[in-house]
Amino acid sequence: MSKSSASTNGATLWAKTPKANAELFSLTYGSLVTEVVRDADGNVNEINEQLEKIGYSIGIRSVDEFLAKSNAAHCRSLQDTAQVLGKTAFKMFLGIDCDVQILSPTTFSLIMQENPLYLFVELPENYKETLQYAILYCGIIRGALEMLNYKVECTLVKNILKGDDVDEIKVELKQILQDGAGDDYKED
């Protein structure tokens, strides 16, 4: 799918999709992060891990909705998938366009000029360097792409909350998973 058709498809889907108030979305996520911080007794590694796991759960469930509503063409490469993810999926679910930067045949970055999770957010000094507030996105991407048979590793490279001018998520393909019915459905 070309970059322009992915953008057009994303804008069309955004217009059709029922929307939640951005402030409500941001405040709800902020409350979730606060609860995870309390549950983890301030252990930043555990907080980041839990937020990524929550994102992963969202990602594996959101693929069906995306495929049902988007009519996205079959992606023939990871680069095509990156365009659809950045221009269509992010637009459909969050109302934002991501710039897609292809770094290699197996690596790409999604760059966000704005991040709806950050409304009303200011990190305390003791979490500023280590808490990955938007790691939820990494989990969502990892879960969604795993459902499409891509095992990936996602990393937050840049973060607006930490003083960067953009948010950047680097996605690296680790393995193409084999498609199949699974061991439960194989004949003996």
Q: What percentage of residues in the chain have a pLDDT greater than 70? A: 84
Q: Under DSSP, is residue 77 helix (H, G, I), strand (E, B) or coil?
A: coil
In a domain, 116, yes or no: yes
In a domain, 188, yes or no: no
**Rounded Cα gap, residues 50 and 144, in angstroms:** 17
Range of the domain at 147: 3-177
In a domain, 183, yes or no: no
Q: What percentage of residues in the chain have a pLDDT greater than 90? A: 56
**Encoded tokens for 44:** 């930043």
Q: Are residues 93 and 84 in contact, defined by beta-carbon separation less than 8 angstroms?
A: no
Q: Under DSSP, is residue 70 helix (H, G, I), strand (E, B) or coil?
A: helix
Q: Are residues 168 and 157 in contact, defined by beta-carbon separation less than 8 angstroms?
A: yes
**Rounded Cα gap, residues 171 and 141, in angstroms:** 8
In a domain, 125, yes or no: yes
Across the chain, mean pLDDT equals: 86
Question: Mean of the pLDDT values across residues 142-151?
Answer: 94
In a domain, 161, yes or no: yes
**Domain CATH code at residue 30:** 3.30.1380.20
pTM: 0.84
Q: Is the confidence at residue 14, as pLDDT, over 80?
A: no
Backbone angles phi, psi at 164, to 5 degrees: -75, 160
Q: Is the confidence at residue 5, as pLDDT, over 70?
A: no
Instruction: Classify residue 68 by its DSSP letter.
Output: H
Q: Are residues 4 and 83 in contact, defined by beta-carbon separation less than 8 angstroms?
A: no
Show Cβ contacts of residue 91 under 8 Å, excluding neighbours closer than 6 positions: 7, 10, 11, 13, 14, 97
In a domain, 187, yes or no: no
Helix-, strand-, coil-residue percentages of the chain, each rounded to 5: 55, 15, 30
- pLDDT tens, position by position, 31-76: 999 999 999 998 999 999 999 999 999 999 999 888 888 877 788 8
In a domain, 184, yes or no: no
In a domain, 170, yes or no: yes
Q: Are residues 64 and 92 in contact, defined by beta-carbon separation less than 8 angstroms?
A: no
Query: What total of structural domains would you count in the chain?
Result: 1
